Structure 1
Amino acid sequence: MVEYQKELKGLAEKILGLMFRSLGLTQEDIAWFKPKYGCKSPQGVLQLNSYPVCPDPNRAMGLAPHTDSSLLTSLYQGNTSGLQVYRDNVGWVPVHPVSGALVVIVGDLMQITCNGRFKSALHRALVNNTRHRISTAYFYGPPQDVKISPSVKLTDHDHPILYRPVTWREYLDAKATHFNKAIELIRYDASSC
């Protein structure tokens, strides 16, 4: 498990680097991304999920609709379907497992960091009546006490700052209390921008 986490951490850092570069951001723009001068390392959490066979899947939910609090989540689905992502004007769309592949999910902290250019993905997990489903999720985030806020390079007159600074710890506390409304609680009022 330690080696698996190490590999997923490296993958998350590569993907984040590519995402930041696609927005024109450098390492200097996201100071906490590659720790300097003794800064704590970014945080990673591995979660194992088990969804037993359910005789009546229409009366049970594996995991309720939610967004992840992290920057990125890497999800291994195994070979049993159950993950669905919500798309506006479409509804719930299944994300079928692909052998040997991971699903990468943008989290709330990435939405904050990039000032809404990337959106966190609303998703859920369904149970089924034929197969036990197991998945592993790796949540990658910044150090818990580092303030996360939109990069100044991604704001201007046409793109005002959308979110106030927040630590991952503060955000997790807000999420625990307000669930999927947490991101709206740290959003600036559009009229004040």
Structure 2
Amino acid sequence: MAELPPIGLLTPLDLSTVETVPESHVWPHPDESSEKIESAKMVSIPVVDFNDDNVLELIGKACEEWGMFQLINHGIPKTLTAETEEVVRCLFALPQSQKMKTLNVPGTVNGYCMARLTKHHDKMMWHEGFNVIGSPVDDFKKLWPSDYQRFCDIMEEYQLKMKALADKLISLIFKFLGISDEEMVKKLSYIDPATGKPHLALRLNSYPPCPEPSKVIGLAAHTDTSLFTMLHQTRREGLQILNEKEGWLPLAPRSDALIINIGDFLQIISNGRFSSIPHRVMIRETEKPTMSIAYFFHPPRHLYISPYCKPLSETPQTPIYKGVNVKEYFVIKAKNNANGIAALTI
């Protein structure tokens, strides 16, 4: 595999100006013809109504069988979602020269960026992103000097609403796994000791129109380095999951649902009971951009994560993964070509 420069030193290509796909962005798809891609049957993953009396069992079953589900009646106001979409749309509609003022460089976490997966591949992805870790005020001042506060308020309110929802979900998931509230407090703390504030992490994604969609990929196959991820999509097409028997399957998500997918840390904590499912984004659109907003829910980097094996179980469980510090896991995953779970398997 060709060696690329460090991710922070790569300059995003202005994809809105491209008339033909450059070689740097052409991905081989040896196992998939255009006809196969177009004819693939879309799959509907489980739909969980957050107001259902059996929500605990529904979430647990979906996590066990799919590692992913759609959540409806989740409580995120439609008006706030629409306003957040507007911010994202305005951000990516800015001229490339303007967005580059907030370029994510080594030593920073926020700002305009390419997919971090790029460092594991010798081809670029048809994608541009923007990280919002905590407050976006410094970057938004550069983008909208006279109107940044309005955009900041919307983005920060969206983060807090998603954080509140994530707190409720993790409590239900841990209850399903038999982990008590006391154990949950011991295992996970969502407050960053350095700042005293909850860890809030958004990734804003844009997949610009492409003149030759069959040649590119939006995001390469990966698993999420999180407890779970909550995804809002502005359009339905593109997201695919990997099925061991049937290969890549395109999803048919509901417009009123958040997609919740299990991340690596919950696979470790559940001792393999839940799976962090590989997924990718394919490009289908030639005329309009596709956007998504991903909220990554993961513990602060100082914590230690290990499998939870019920001590009083009638059938004693043996850990199948090594325990790991959260910060160390990011390093381990990077060194193992984005496959950290395999490196921890006992």
TM-score category of the 2 structures, normalised to the smaller one: 0.7 to 0.9
Counterparts of 1:48 and 1:154 in 2: how far apart (Å)?
A: 41
The match for 1:160 is: 318
Q: Which moved more, 1:166-175 or 1:62-71?
A: 166-175
Query: Please, which runs of 5 or more residues in structure 1 have no aligned partner?
Result: 189-193
Residue 20 of structure 1: aligned partner: 174
Q: Retained in 2: the 8 A contact 1:27–1:33?
A: no
Gaps of 5+ in 2: 1-154
Please state if 1:64 is matched with 2:205: no
10-19 or 93-102: bigger deviation: 93-102
> Are positions 1:33 and 2:188 aligned together?
yes
Q: How does 1:93-112 map to 2 (within 5 A)?
A: 93-112=249-268
The CA deviation at 1:53 is 1.1
CA spacing shift, 1:159–1:90, aligned 2, 3 Å: farther
Name the structure 1 match of 2:202.
46
Tell whether 2:304 aligns with 1:147.
yes
Tell me if structure 2 keeps the 8 A contact 1:75–1:135: yes
Q: Which structure has the greater CA radius of gyration?
A: 2
Distance 1:152 1:108 in 2: 17
Note the aligned Cα RMSD (angstroms): 2.3
* Poorly superposed stretches of 4+, deviation over 4 Å: 38-42, 154-158
8 A contact 1:73–1:105 mirrored in 2: yes
Displacement, 1:18?
0.9
Q: 2: distance between equivalents of 1:103 and 1:82?
A: 13
| More contact order relative to length (CA 8 Å, sep ≥ 6) | 1
Identity %: 39
Is 1:172 matched up with 2:330?
yes
Q: Distance in 2 between matches of 1:146 and 1:34?
A: 8
Question: In structure 2, do the counterparts of structure 1 residues 35 and 28 end up closer, same or farther at CA, with 3 Å as the change threshold?
Answer: farther
3-state SS in 1 of match to 2:182: coil
Distance 1:25 1:67, change over 3 A: same
Aligned residues: 187
Which structure is higher in helix share?
Answer: 2
- 1:187 is aligned to 345
Task: Sort the Cα spacing of 1:122 and 1:42 in 2 relative to 1 into closer, same or farther, 3 A.
Answer: farther
TM-score (norm 2): 0.50
